[in-house]
Amino acid sequence: MSPVKVAVVGAGTWGAEHARIFAGRPDTDLVAVVGRDPERTARRARAYDTRAYTELDRMLEDEQPDLVTVCLPNEGHFQVTRHLLEAGVDLLVEKPLVFDLGEADALLDAAEVSGSFFAINFNHRYAEPVQRARAAIDAGELGRLVFVTWRFGGEANHGASRHANLIETQCHGFDMIEHLVGPVVSVAAQMTDATYGDYSTIALALELADGVVGTMLGSYDSSYAYPDSQLVEVNGTEGRLAIHDTVRRLEISRAGNAERRVWEAGYFDDEARRFHGTFDRHVEHILSALRAGDPPPVHARAGRRALELAHAAIASFETGRRTPVAPPH
């Protein structure tokens, strides 16, 4: 089987993870890195023994990649992604999909017309604690689900949007809650811009299907150095689980029993311990689907859904009312 030819668009910090993965796999060939800055792009290409381009169309013509990954600044995804979809290219894009719902719909429409494979990297789903949590929930270990909590906070990533924290970072929370527990049907929001003028910390009350309730607290006024900077709790009538720092630990408790079942990566299990390894795991599933002609394991529609929930939160905050949300199609 011929290696999958992959080109990475973006020479920034997380783009290095894209390059690392596709340069290091025996079943992929990193054929190009595309960037805006010639020197930075050339350095990245040299680091991974591939070719540097500053012109996207030139790269497509020269390399004819089987898959292009897009890892650009958070608010700069739309134009490049649309151009690639209109060219019929198969894509893996980073979150957030975009910041505007009209742009999200335009991208999904373009993918439908071109037939492009269109994946988005919600890599948190592939953390070992998350996968074990999903299995425990599916097996009924928690009984009837009652509530879910998401908390995620760290240093600010400043951007043009006042809602950068909500859209570009807490999108993982919207995706995780629906992945583990089910669809959100309404949102009520409170936000603060007290620290630097953007809505850097948000608190949401969620109504989910089947009577489940949830909360989200997301902040750019915290630190990733703190323990449990990311925490997920799911509580049911018969048990509770907690995911600590995405990859660090899973705890499952039974109601009325003070003992807990704990998963943590073992001494030699570096792969499960590393956050970046969640992306490697996702790529494994992406490549399997691409080769088989199947839909992506996480379609870009999930990015549109997270954006829809973020905009519902914004509408709630601006109106002072709970905002209903239709379930995903």
Q: Which residues of 27-62 are buried (b: 16+ CB within 10 A; e: fewer)?
A: ebbbbbbbbeeeeebbebbeebebbbbeebeebbee
Domains of the chain: 4-123+278-297 (3.40.50.720), 124-272+307-324 (3.30.360.10)
Tens of pLDDT along 154-165? 999 999 999 999
The 67-70 sheet, strands edge to edge: 51-53, 28-34, 4-9, 67-70, 91-93, 118-120
pLDDT of residue 293: 97
Average of per-residue pLDDT across 53-67: 98
Contacts of 226 (CB under 8 A, 6+ apart): 153
Average of per-residue pLDDT across 41-65: 98
Tens of pLDDT along 147-206? 999 999 999 999 999 999 999 999 999 999 999 999 999 999 999 999 999 999 999 999
CA 329 to CA 322: how far, in whole Å?
A: 21
* Whether 216 contacts 173, CB under 8 Å: yes
